[in-house]
Structure 1
């Protein structure tokens, strides 16, 4: 069990079209990026769920994660081909009532300081607690399922637009946060630059 009484969700159901290969499986320090994120999040949170898109991808990830894969929950999209909003919906639908710490699988850096700051506002009653302009590295309450499902049914997949329409609480980044906290490995150039930094 991790340090904080909360579950976490990694969104890993996208097509990785700009990368040209599955971003969740990019090797970082000899292990798939997804493996590294699960290791970090399992130290911080009660449980880790991976939103996988399809059951075929779940099988691939279980394989690549080895023994670690059995300790993870998996959520399959109910609204296929609908972007990260669909993964968020699937992940939140698999949880009991409460908050989940949500990350994307292409964000290699986890900040305990930020999670602690977000958690300090969990009594705010907000559906989402996040850093201004950042939909991930955020806490989403299962209450957010209703507006998320409504947006999916309307075919409106814009996550930041949805954030603005929901009851959200915005926090400032902790002063000691690393500069690349919200780095995304979207393209081969991003991945090469991140790998070069070590």
Structure 2
């Protein structure tokens, strides 16, 4: 049976390299979390922000949130907290540090979804490895992530590499640009302006 698809915007990182909360940067005239929320909401009406409880005052009371419920750091905590809340759900996962991502990349990803795989993932144009944070994680893949996490292996990409996944080349791969530093933020702003 096909797992229902919900959206998950990962906002819970500490943003230490950016020196400000990446989810609040307004690349598109609104906070980045809100821009991504709207993009994903056009694909599935059930979209959640994944964040730490102390971030709540800076975000919106009007959107559903899943707070980190698992001890640890990194994006696996957000993914596994969502999995704990809805164990039979597949998640369209997006990291908040993707200022150039648009509807076309997300529609392409969803159109390629293979529900019998552990995940469907875009391929990174930088290192040609699966993008764990621009992916659809099926419940089976999240169970493998949980097993690895409990074994002290905290890397979602490594879980994907050990799993039965579909990796797809994004025809709009320039949209996968990550902005994690002030310099990358400026670069993204330049690209958005042009």
Fold-level similarity (TM above 0.5): yes
TM-score (ref. length: structure 2) = 0.84
Does residue 148 of structure 1 match 2:145? yes
Which residue in 2 is equivalent to 1:66?
none
Matching residue within 58, 65, 81 for 1:90: 81
Which residue in 1 is equivalent to 2:188?
194
TM-score (ref. length: structure 1) = 0.83
Deviation at 1:182, TM superposition (A): 0.8
Contact 1:82/1:152 (CA < 8 Å) preserved in 2? no
Alignment partners' CA distance in 1, 2:24 and 2:83: 23
1:49-83 per-position Cα deviation (integer Å, ceiling 9, x unaligned): 1110x222123212xxxxxx41x221112223321
Q: How does 1:161-180 map to 2 (within 5 A)?
A: 161-174=158-171, 177=172, 179-180=173-174
Contact 1:12/1:105 (CA < 8 Å) preserved in 2? yes
Which residue in 1 is equivalent to 2:45?
46
1:145-169 per-position Cα deviation (integer Å, ceiling 9, x unaligned): 3211122222211222111112211
Unaligned runs of 5+ in 2: 124-128
Larger proportion of helix: 1
Alignment partners' CA distance in 2, 1:96 and 1:80: 18
Alignment partners' CA distance in 1, 2:180 and 2:29: 19
Q: How does 1:42-191 map to 2 (within 5 A)?
A: 42-52=41-51, 54-62=52-60, 69-70=61-62, 72-95=63-86, 97-132=88-123, 133=129, 134-174=131-171, 177=172, 179-191=173-185
Contact 1:127/1:144 (CA < 8 Å) preserved in 2? yes
Contact 2:119/2:160 (CA < 8 Å) preserved in 1? yes
Alignment partners' CA distance in 1, 2:55 and 2:71: 13
Contact 2:99/2:188 (CA < 8 Å) preserved in 1? no
1:127-184 per-position Cα deviation (integer Å, ceiling 9, x unaligned): 110123222221111222321112222221122211111221112223xx1x521111
Which residue in 2 is equivalent to 1:31?
30
RMSD: 2.0
How many residues matched? 183
Alignment partners' CA distance in 1, 2:87 and 2:159: 22
Which residue in 1 is equivalent to 2:126?
none
Which is further off, 128-137 or 183-192?
128-137
